[in-house]
Amino acid sequence: MELPALNLSPQGPSVTTAWETVKRARHPDRPLFLDFVSALFTEFDPLHGDRLYGDDGAMLGGIARFQGQPVMVVGQHKGRSTRERIQHNFGMPNPEGYRKALRLFKLAERFNLPVLTFIDTQGAYPGVEAEERGQASAIAHNLAALSTLKVPVIATIIGEGGSGGALAIGVADRVFMLSNSIYSVISPEGCAAILWKDSNYAELASETMGLTAQRLHKLHLIDDIIDEGPLGAHAEPLLTFSRLGQTLAHSLAELVHLNATQRCTLRYERLMQLGNIEALTSLA
């Protein structure tokens, strides 16, 4: 089967294509969740286990301080070395990971702690064992809980944001993306395998899926883009940490001044606007 031609406008040498963005989001030196925790937070105390099955290495979280304010931090961690990646299941959480996150969300609500989530996963682990332990149910419970959580919730996609595995910690009052991160219902390889029966069509799929921060911002599916600089977060991590920290601080200051009812109402209204046809038709 011959590869269809891309129907794209001419790109200058300085324009980053969607496939280049995918490769940057997966760069082996890109900052991971624990790198952001070390750079942005102090007194991070990790919490473990879902109190039902066990602990999950792909989903990490705990209590920390952000600019002196106590917060709950939750995120997916891929690991860097081969040993770390196996330990963290390549950032693909099992049901116990999502149940651990849910436990931390409820703990944050109990003690009135804002929740900051960091998304970096290809998707929830698709193994048979995960399905047997209730993967879909665990994700659904997280979606329901986050939609009505009474404390501020801010989500940031720092690398890959894949399908329900990302969305399970991505329902929030504010959703941000790093400029070289991606967010989609499926990976480009998975999309290519379904549409063209060949994962080698991943580059074509990435160009048509609308998975970049710029595209999603135009669709009003995210609230803001954190500029990583021209070389990406792996080349300028301190710049990325600084810009993200400023954005989180500004948003958190806005959200903490609202009462729980106001926040939940605005969050509901935000969710109901996703996919609004007016937003879709506003694209150039």
- In CATH, what number is assigned to the domain containing residue 125? 3.90.226.10
Query: For the whole prediction, is pTM greater than 0.85?
Result: yes
Does residue 284 fall inside a structural domain?
no
Q: Which of 168, 181, 106, 117 is nearest to 140 (CA)?
A: 168
* Residue 278 confidence (pLDDT): 64
* Residue 14 confidence (pLDDT): 41
Does residue 5 fall inside a structural domain?
no
Q: Which domain holds residue 41?
A: 18-275
Phi, psi of 257 (to 5 degrees): -85, -10
Beta carbons of 32 and 77 less than 8 angstroms apart: yes
pLDDT < 70 positions in the chain: 1-15, 277-284
Which helix (H) or strand (E) segment is 57 a member of?
A: none
What beta strand segments (E) does the chain contain? Answer: 42-46, 59-66, 69-76, 115-121, 153-162, 174-178, 182-184, 224-226
* Residue 229 confidence (pLDDT): 86
* Residue 15 confidence (pLDDT): 53
Does residue 12 fall inside a structural domain?
no
Does residue 152 fall inside a structural domain?
yes
Q: Please give the structure tokens belonging to residue 252.
A: 């958190």
Query: CA dist 65 to 41, 109, 184, 198, 265, Å?
Result: 5, 16, 31, 46, 27
Does residue 224 fall inside a structural domain?
yes
Distance CA 265, CA 263 (A): 5
Q: How far apart are the first and last CA of the chain?
A: 31
Does residue 95 fall inside a structural domain?
yes
**DSSP of 141-174, one letter per residue?**
HHHHHHHH-SS-EEEEEEEEEEHHHHHTTT--SE
* Residue 281 confidence (pLDDT): 54
Beta carbons of 98 and 59 less than 8 angstroms apart: yes
pLDDT tens-place string over residues 60-92: 999 999 999 999 999 999 999 999 999 999 999
Please, what is the angle between helix 202-209 and helix 18-25, to 10°?
100
Distance CA 123, CA 259 (A): 33
Does residue 7 fall inside a structural domain?
no
In the chain, the number of structural domains is 1
